[in-house]
Amino acid sequence: MRRDLVPVSIGVALLIAIAITGGLWLELDNFEHLTDAEHASERFDAVKIGLTVAGGLGAMFALWLGVRRQRAAERDSEDRYAAQVATERDATERRITELYGRAVEQLGSDKAAVRLGGLYALERLGADHRHLRQTVVNVICAYLRMRYELPEAEGFSKSEWRAIQDNFDQEHHVRQAAQRILYDHVRASMHILNLDREPNPKYWDWLELDLSGATLIDFNLHNARLKTVNFDRAVFKGRSTELRGAWIANEATFEKAQFLAPVYLYGVQFRGYTTFGGARFADVAIFEGATFGLNARFDMATFEKDVSFAEITVTLVAGFEGAIFAGASLFRNATFEGPPKFYAAKFRDMPDFSDARISMLFPGEIYLPGGWALEAATTSVEGEEKRIIRFVRSKEVAEEIQSTESPERQP
């Protein structure tokens, strides 16, 4: 409130009090029956009333003025606090930007130790600032997507080639550190089998991985819980590739990926669209107990050694059209809730569909591999009888197996 209005307000209150007192004083003149003493007493009471009114108005004004001052002080305090918070936030954001820029710059160094420092600096940023975690993961994935292969030795001197090999070995250690950082923060549980036990305190939830075209060595996503993954054209090398117990909420793509080492996907849960179309499995591939929440596409994939899809569950279409199975292929106890499609698939050996079944919750055209047929059957699920379609040996194959297992006695 403006200071020059305070005396004006006080004056107005006094005038109102004087007016009330004067009005009462003049009104007493109309009471002629009163004695002089009574007139004097009443006039004195009128003065007291006027003064009381003036005092009340003054008290109300003082209260109102105090409230206004309190509100002004609170607004001023809030403004100062908001300004302080904004200043601190700006300083924090500038500090984060500086640290992030410095870490990214370190990743471009020609020294392995500096690149390692950049990776760990990024990890610290993600640990301290939740909103930066996906950004940190994106940068690490981008680093792993960069070209990583040893050039041909021709054209280099011995000393030059030795230096190239040393740099290549150092880069291997840097990439292993990058993969470990990813694994430390996508692994939801420390327990070997159960995602709901022993939660990982370092877990960063709801992350997306884009490692398309990356070269990955001894890659590990055991017990990972992720939003989406993209491994299109990725190359998996080393002793093994480990994805057992992983849980992918949305899309998971492995188009034309190359698995040059054994790959283990025990109990993986692919909740969204999943494709391994055109992928190459140069070693053993184990998908036992995996769940495919939507489609499972392995069209044109090549399995150069044994593969097991035992006890898998596919909710929609299981596509193996044009796939090549050069080793043993197991589909025992597999459940296809939609139509399996093995059109133009090639098998070196007879695939094993023992106890596999089709529930046909989602109808469609079925393409079976040679030597197998279907028959209607019933099964009990939680005490309720349900009709299913069961895989059986075709008549010709069954007769051939029987004749092999039970040869005629020689006379």
Residue 112 has a pLDDT of: 95
3-state SS class at 286: strand
* 260 and 327 assigned to the same domain: yes
* 323 and 393 assigned to the same domain: yes
Q: In the structure encoding, which two tokens stand for residue 411, read together?
A: 């006379």
The string of DSSP codes covering 92-160 is HHHHHHHHHHHHHHHHT-SSHHHHHHHHHHHHHHHHH-GGGHHHHHHHHHHHHHS---PPPSTT--HHH
Q: Does residue 276 contact residue 300 with C-beta atoms inside 8 Å?
A: no
* 221 and 88 assigned to the same domain: no
Range(s) of the domain holding residue 85: 5-103
* 179 and 254 assigned to the same domain: no
The verdict on residue 239 lying in a domain is yes
Q: Does residue 292 contact residue 271 with C-beta atoms inside 8 Å?
A: no
Q: Could you give the CA distance from residue 112 to residue 105 in angstroms, rounded to a whole number? A: 13
Q: In the structure encoding, which two tokens stand for residue 85, read together?
A: 């918070």
* 282 and 401 assigned to the same domain: yes
Total of domains in the chain:
3
The verdict on residue 197 lying in a domain is no
Q: Could you give the CA distance from residue 268 to residue 389 in angstroms, rounded to a whole number? A: 25
Q: In the structure encoding, which two tokens stand for residue 114, read together?
A: 């500096």
Look at residues 206, 289, 221 and name the one whose alpha carbon lies nearest to residue 254.
221
- pLDDT, one tens digit for every residue, the chain (411 residues): 455 555 655 666 666 666 666 665 555 555 555 565 665 665 656 666 666 766 676 677 777 777 778 888 888 777 777 777 666 666 667 888 898 999 999 999 999 999 999 999 999 999 999 999 999 999 999 999 999 988 777 778 888 888 889 999 999 999 999 999 999 999 998 665 555 567 899 999 999 999 999 999 999 999 999 999 999 999 999 999 999 999 999 999 999 999 999 999 999 999 999 999 999 999 999 999 999 999 999 999 999 999 999 999 999 999 999 999 999 999 999 999 888 999 999 999 989 998 898 886 666 788 888 788 888 777 766 667 766 778 887 665 445 444 444 444 333
Residue 67 has a pLDDT of: 79
- Model confidence, pTM: 0.75
H or E stretch at 58: helix 36-107
Residue 21 has a pLDDT of: 62
* 367 and 256 assigned to the same domain: yes
* 99 and 126 assigned to the same domain: no
Reduce the secondary structure of 11-49 to three states and give it as a string.
Answer: HHHHHHHHHHHHHHHHHHHHCCCCCHHHHHHHHHHHHHH
* 238 and 305 assigned to the same domain: yes
Query: Which sign, positive or negative, has the C-alpha torsion 250, 256, 261, 262?
Result: positive
Other beta carbons within 10 angstroms of residue 126's beta carbon come to 22
In the DSSP assignment, the letter for residue 258 is E
The verdict on residue 69 lying in a domain is yes
* CA dist list (Å): 215 to 82, 114, 137, 296: 49, 21, 16, 24
